[in-house]
Chains A and B, each alone.
Chain A
Amino acid sequence: MIADMNSRTRDFLLALSVCPLLAVSDTISNAIGLGLSVIVTLALSQLIGAVVSRWLDDEWRLASLYVIVAAVASAALMFMHAMFPMLQQALGIFPMMIAANAVVGVQFLASETSMTRRLIDSAKLGVQIAALLLVLGITRELVGRGSVFHDAGNQFGDWARSLQLFRADMGFLLAMLPPGAFISLGLLLALRNWLRDRRKQA
């Protein structure tokens, strides 16, 4: 019962924390870029947070975590600005939202006492979020633009070429718009629940 509630809270928090990031999962390259930043920000904040929490009492840890998350997210943004300017331009202000995402993630995992456990968990959470963004990116780009890796050449260098499967103007516009991300997410969750229920019955 408790384990079930825990996993439900976890699902809920995960879904909640990816919301700000959904809007820019419209192409695969954007989703990859954002996903990688989430992994790095989350793991790094968790690492620093775990180190400093040794010198702080319980009720003080949260305050330090907020500051750390904000700082790591800002630093990640500066590096993105410097190294992948086109990606930064495509993502706009949304990478800032990684901070919100990481706060939820870090806070959720902060109850864990063992440091390695915390690091592994935060890496896992980061990878999960990145994977979700990637799936959304693939779906939305395919449905919305009819292409795979649109603009990837711009963002990651010339070796990444885009692959156009069918003409972009035949694409389904809704998939490209921000609400399309939420609809896609809903469909994915429905699919997941359906698969789980079916497995339970079998």
Chain B
Amino acid sequence: MATPANSRATLRNSLVLIAIAIAIAAGLSVTDSLTREQIRRNEQSWILQQLDALVPPSAHDNDLLTDATRVVSADLLGTEDPVDIYRARKQGQPVAAIFHTVAPNGYRGPIELLVAIAVDGSLLGVQVIRHHETPGLGDAFEHDDGRWLNRFKGRSLKDPLQMRWSLRNDGGEFDAFTGATITPRAIVKAVRQALEYFRANQRRIFESAAAT
């Protein structure tokens, strides 16, 4: 039963709780505005570090992070999500395109990749930047400083031929790694799709306006 004293207490407590909630919301938004800029900078410098590892800074003279375009092509790239493409140029001439793409069918979820393709259609390198694969098995591409991923270097849709761009188990050219088939299959497929997309859309990739 609500006596007057009781409901007064309820009112008082409610007001205190509301005040706490407001104070907390204010505190959190202050924290957010304090950290937001730094978090963005961290992410950018991290991506840039990965990009520099694929396309050496001496090979281009533009800012990769600002010279990026965003495409969506579920049928060609195998993912519904937008894919960022960073473009490397030297004196205005295209040098390479780096796809920030996703292999959607990893063993434990999507695998985020950077796939660097030179203008002649050959691979400059492939880097896994985020994944959830089983430690010790599915993440074997990280072993020996990424030896497995280094095999992509210099490959193109002519080497091996497009139909052989799959794992050895699937009749292709690429070795899986011990204990895992699904992860390397997903990576090989995503790399091949990036190459195919590049071949079909090369001109458009370099000519479209920067969109970030």
Contact = CB atoms under 8 A, between A and B. Distances in A.
The answer to whether A binds B is yes
Contacts of A173: 135-137
Contacts of B17: 56, 60, 63-64, 67
B9 interface: yes
Given A85-B39, A85-B42, A78 B32 contact: yes
B135 A57 contact: no
Given A78-B32, A85-B42, A67 B21 contact: yes
B31 interface: yes
B122 to A, nearest CB: 30
Contacts of B20: 52, 64, 67-68
B212 interface: no
Contacts of A82: 34-35, 38-39, 42
Contacts of B135: 26, 173, 176-177
Contacts, number: 61
Contacts of A81: 35, 39, 42
Interface residues of A, number: 26
Interface in A75-105: 75, 78-79, 81-83, 85, 89
A71 B136 CA distance: 36
B150 interface: no
A104 B32 CA distance: 26
Interface of B: 9, 13, 16-17, 20-21, 24, 27-28, 31-32, 34-35, 38-39, 42-43, 46, 130, 134-137, 143
